[in-house]
Structure 1
Amino acid sequence: MSDRHPMRVLIAEDEFLLADDIASWLERAGATVVGPLPSVERTLARLKGAPEIDVAVLDINLNGELIYPVADELARRDVPVVFYTGYDLEVPKRFSSAMKISKSASSGDLVNAVFEQRLRSLATLPPMRREGLEECVLQLVPALRLRARLLLPSPRAADALVERTLERAICEVSARAEGQDLDTWLHQIMLAVFAQSPFGPN
């Protein structure tokens, strides 16, 4: 049985309709949603019995209570966070690695922020060395774009190919062979994605 799984995203949001929208956006992007949860108390309770969480989308203010106890628990687990808020609040310095997205931003901005946070966390997964130098997913993006442009002459289609490659990599990271070179693995995924849609996105 394969141990690969979609990216699991925890959502803490107290506005019902918005929470439902966020869940729909992320599910359409291929994620599995945990929640949405409307309060700090319920989110902490869910975390106790929740499966592994890959990324969390947190409204800073849930019914008048700040979300920081949840963010602290997620930080303890090394789970990256996206603060999604309608307030212009400065977050504590201990959350400097978190991303902050305004509720006025587009659905694409939020989904991209979630994927970017996941990619940052993947960059710390071993093995991450090539010829003695550390490498990470984000550092490999330029090479992926170059390969994509060799496959697809349209810059827009090439960038879409890179995006689909990274999305699949997120979903299939648990299936990556131990010791497999990250660069080689990503390019193999790109070729597989390209083979399924050789003329670009439908």
Structure 2
Amino acid sequence: MPDFDFDATLRWARFAPRKTLSRQSGDELPFLDNASAGQALLLDTCVYIDGLQGRTPDAVADLLDLRIVNHSAVAVQELMHSIGALDPRHPGSKVAIDRIGGLIRAMPPHRVFAPDTDMLAKGAMLSGILCRLQGYAADDRYRALHDCVLFVQAQKLGLTVLTANVGDFDLLLQMLPAGRAIFYRPL
């Protein structure tokens, strides 16, 4: 496996805090107030979902117009999971599938990135540490895994994660301060 070194990943994880982390106040976090030019973005799955539900503030649309927008196979995976979880007999499922499909089809192929083995391994390690420190319940562990892989992927690609998920990404920024995220508050 040319893109994965087990021992290097163990050394990388030495940053791990040894105690439960506390959430920071909103004043300490990078919230989006006004859109501005800057680093390219990697979108968290919540951005797509909030967009479909009309819950993204105007500043998010402005930011997406100003910056290069990239997509992760992690978000595609989560969106496809949502489709699979829909009840095909429910009258709203076809509309939801069509709207999610439209989002995925609109992603330019050259802007969709799949995490490599190194990203997956480091994201899994980071997720395990986060789940252990914060005492995450079983239901929260897969969500944390996807968030951690996305965060590590963004860091490795030099991108900034755009997300409304303050709870997890606040902790990830504390654990890996070299990572970057911008938060928004859904409407």
The normalised TM-score by structure 2 is: 0.29
The answer to which structure has the higher strand fraction is: 1
Higher helix share: 2
TM-score where L is the length of structure 1:
0.28
Q: Indicate the structure (1 or 2) with the bigger Cα radius of gyration.
A: 1
Higher RCO structure, 1 or 2 (CA under 8 Å, sep 6+): 2
